[in-house]
Amino acid sequence: MLEIKDLELTYRSTQGAYYAVRKVNLRINRGELYTLLGPSGCGKTTTLRCVAGLERPDSGEILIDGKQVFSSRDGIWVPPHQRPIGMVFQSYAIWPHMSVFENVAFPLRQGAQKTRKEEIRDRVMQALSTVHLDHLADRPAPFLSGGQQQRLALARSLVKQPKILLLDEPLSNLDAKLREEMRLEIRSVIERLGITTLFVTHEQIEALSMSDVVAVMNDGNIMQEAAPKDIYGAPTSPFVASFIGKSNVFAATVVSETAGETVVASAIGRLRCRSSFAVKLGDQVMVSVRPEDVAVADGRTSETDNLVQGALGQAVFIGDALECAVKIGDTEIRIKTPRDADLTSGAPVSLAIAPHHCRLMRAN
């Protein structure tokens, strides 16, 4: 279990100070895979490095299994080598002067208490077989492929049986095919071992497919924290809406409010929407609609759907679908339709959007 309370870290340079992390709070339950997702420079890696002890926060508190490893108030600082953690680095950080076996054995050979030779051997081989590398134990580490190095890094981070596993963009150096494979494999190893994991990535697909909880970070803050499905389906801010997947985001004003359904006036007309927070008449809000949730209206559209009239713009074939711009008044929204849809540029079109796909968000 990992808890971070009010974590703050400021970098100072000659140009002045800037916040890398400001007031980050999070809690990862035992066995959970928690992902920090965000653009580069958002503070996600810094947060992870604070947990590892590789960065020293200015203030806040970090607890691993209820034990403080950092607390500015109590003046506690546990150096990285004494923290019960394992970590996979972005570069894998495989020591090139050691064999595969020696790399994994290294964590067991550190520290005050001596581990017996046979025990080291057993535990290293166990860890290697978990990632299917046991047959390469004696190979010099530089003679491994990218995927194998990544597995080796994982085995090395697990061999000490840490309480927290930290993954710092571990897949970013792999090619697309291998990345897909390793996503599943890492997830299954973590699940099998039931290890509490903090995962940092800028790839939304990794975050959505691997995590129990995703937290989107921007500018040193956690913007939203939710299960993958919820964070995709119900973003609470324009940033999250457009950072995860694509989203049409536009401003609107609340014109009527009844239980469960809110009607807003927007640039593309009146829309019936779902709101996850209380609104009142006249509130300025933002609406987010995902391109794939917009359908070209035909006879089968449900009567509860919002119907919007517009003109088709340019369509782009992207393989599994067509992406198309639709001009509604002065506003343009993007829609995603089946790839065999018959769309003519400039033709009038009627769009159907279900109310539960129009998510209301607070205006900043």
Partner 1 sequence: MTLVSPAEIQSQSTEAGKGLFARLPFDPFTAISGAVVIGSCAIVLGLVGVVGWLSLVEGLPGDAGKALTLANYHKVFEDPFVLTVLWNTLQFCFATLVVAMPLGLIGAWLVERTDFSGKTVVLSLMSIGLLIPGFASAMGWLYLLHPRIGVVNTWLRDLFGLVEAPFNIMTIAGMGWVQGLSLAPLIFVMTAAVFRAMDPSLEEAASTHGVKTWRVMMKVTLPLAWPGILAAAIYVFVIGFAAFDVPAVLGWGNRIFTFSTFLLSVINGSEGLPRYGLGAALSAVVIVIAALLGYLYSLMQRKAHRYTVVTGKAYKPKLIELGRWNIAAWIGVVLYFSFSKLVPLVLLVYASLLPFFQFPSLRAFKAMSLSNYYSVPWGLATEALGHTLILMFLTPTITLAISVAFSWIVLKTRAPGRKTADFIAFLPHAVPNVIFGIGALLAALYLLQSFIPIYGTIWLILLVFVVARLSYGTRMTNSGLIQIHKELEEAAQISGATGFGTFRSVILPLLSPTLMYAWLWIALLTYRELTLAVVVSSSGNVTLPVVVWSLWSSGGLGRASALAVISMLLVVPLIVVYWFIAKRRGALAA
Positions in the binding site for partner 1 (CB under 8 A): 30-31, 52-54, 56, 65, 67-69, 74-87, 89-93, 95-97, 106-107, 110-111, 126-127, 129-130, 156-158, 160-163, 166, 192-196
Residues in the chain: 364
Tokens of 228: 């993958």
Minimum separation from the CB atom of position 132 to partner 1 (A): 11
Minimum separation from the CB atom of position 84 to partner 1 (A): 6
Q: Which is nearer to partner 1, 18 or 317 (CB)?
A: 18
Q: How many angstroms separate the CA atoms of 122 and 141, rounded? A: 19
Q: Which is nearer to partner 1, 14 or 364 (CB)?
A: 14
Q: Which is nearer to partner 1, 94 or 264 (CB)?
A: 94
Minimum separation from the CB atom of position 331 to partner 1 (A): 44
Minimum separation from the CB atom of position 201 to partner 1 (A): 17
Q: Which is nearer to partner 1, 156 or 179 (CB)?
A: 156
Q: How many CB atoms lie within 10 A of CB 337?
A: 18
Choose among 188, 212, 175: nearest CA to 36: 212
Minimum separation from the CB atom of position 28 to partner 1 (A): 13
Q: Which is nearer to partner 1, 163 or 356 (CB)?
A: 163
Could you tell me the CA-to-CA distances from 205 to 35, 179, 211, 268 in Å, in that order? 11, 11, 10, 30
Tokens of 154: 């994982």
Q: Which is nearer to partner 1, 107 or 235 (CB)?
A: 107
Q: Which is nearer to partner 1, 155 or 234 (CB)?
A: 155
Minimum separation from the CB atom of position 211 to partner 1 (A): 18
Q: Which is nearer to partner 1, 132 or 339 (CB)?
A: 132
Minimum separation from the CB atom of position 179 to partner 1 (A): 19
Q: How many angstroms separate the CA atoms of 69 and 105, rounded? A: 25
Minimum separation from the CB atom of position 19 to partner 1 (A): 18
Minimum separation from the CB atom of position 182 to partner 1 (A): 18
Q: Which is nearer to partner 1, 63 or 341 (CB)?
A: 63
